Structure 1
Amino acid sequence: MKSEYHFQVRWGDTDAAGIVFYPNFYKWMDDATHAYLAAIGYPSSQLFAEQQIGVPLLEANCIFKRPLLFEDQVAVKSYVEELHNKVFKIKHVFVKGDQIAAEGYEVRAWTSFKEKPKAQPIPDLIREKMMQQVETVEG
């Protein structure tokens, strides 16, 4: 099972040639990560409001395969590719129709903001939900 985040490319997302300007892919990966957390039952806003937990970005990468254009309908399929004690790597695949437009990932740390920001172990309940995602994708 993968979480899916859908959007339509807006005019402001494109450059003068009408092709999506590359930083937007990183914005959409961020949006897709928050959609993923909500899909497994842990919306970012709720995590922060109730537990002062966030998932700051440590690393991001994106490989562009086909251009996206104004008004394209896009699905970002996201799943946890690697799961460590305090850090997880979430993969994002941008799909337009039946073609992959781009693939990227983010590495994020499970972080408490109760005092000074500090990474902490991902709770077992959340880890189990993320592992289900990993097993489904690989299996």
Structure 2
Amino acid sequence: MTFNKKEIIRFRHCDPAGIVFYPRYLEIINDLVEDWFEVMGYPFNEMDTCLGAGVPTVNLNIKFMQPCRQGDTLFLELVCARIGDSSFDIKVTGQRLEQRILEAYVTLCFTTIGKQISKLSIPEGVRRQMLEYRPVQDTASL
């Protein structure tokens, strides 16, 4: 299963050249992750109180294939590529119609929140939900 979202590119996303300013893609990806967690039943605004955790990005790699412009619709797809003890990898693809716009690989890590940040094991309920978003061929290797 994949998590899908449609993002309409707005004026606020674009630079003076009229294309999406690349840091805005980081915000779009972060919004996608936040929406994914909410669908799984773990909204970011409750994760601190119910799990005592956050999920900061620890590694990010994005390849841009084509620009997006104001008014374009970006179709985003997220799959959970790897689930470790405390960290997990997601793959995000973005398309406009049949054109691949971007491909991102993101590693996030469950951590405590506050002054002393340390890794936490992924809670079992979250892990079960993440497994639903693994590519079909990868579930046998778990």
Q: Which structure dedicates a bigger proportion of its chain to strand?
A: 1
Q: Distance in 2 between matches of 1:19 and 1:105?
A: 22
**Contact 2:80-2:135 at 8 Å conserved across structures:** no
C-alpha RMSD of the superposition? 1.8
The size of the alignment, in residue pairs, is 139
Q: Distance in 2 between matches of 1:42 and 1:33?
A: 11
User: What residue identity is the alignment partner of 2:34?
Assistant: H
| Counterpart residue number, 1:80 | 80
Query: What's the CA shift for 1:12?
Result: 2.5
Return 5-14 or 66-75, whichever deviates more: 5-14
User: What residue identity is the alignment partner of 1:56?
Assistant: P
User: Given the alignment of the two structures, is residue 57 of structure 1 paired with residue 54 of structure 2, yes or no?
Assistant: no
Q: Secondary structure at the match of 1:20?
A: coil
| Counterpart residue number, 1:17 | 17
Q: Which runs of 5+ in 1 are unaligned?
A: none
Query: What's the CA shift for 1:135?
Result: 4.0
| Counterpart residue number, 1:89 | 89
| Counterpart residue number, 2:101 | 101
User: What residue identity is the alignment partner of 1:73?
Assistant: T
Structure 1 segments of 4 or more deviating over 4 A?
A: none
Residues 26-80 of structure 1: CA deviation (Å, up to 9, x unaligned): 1111111111111222111121232321001101111011110111111211121
TM-score (norm 2): 0.88
Aligned 1:13-52 pairs, distance under 5 A: 13-52=13-52
Query: What's the CA shift for 1:137?
Result: 7.0
Q: Secondary structure at the match of 1:118?
A: coil
**Contact 1:3-1:35 at 8 Å conserved across structures:** no
TM-score (norm 1): 0.90
Query: What's the CA shift for 1:120?
Result: 0.9
Cα distance, 1:3–1:45 mapped onto 2, change above 3 Å: same
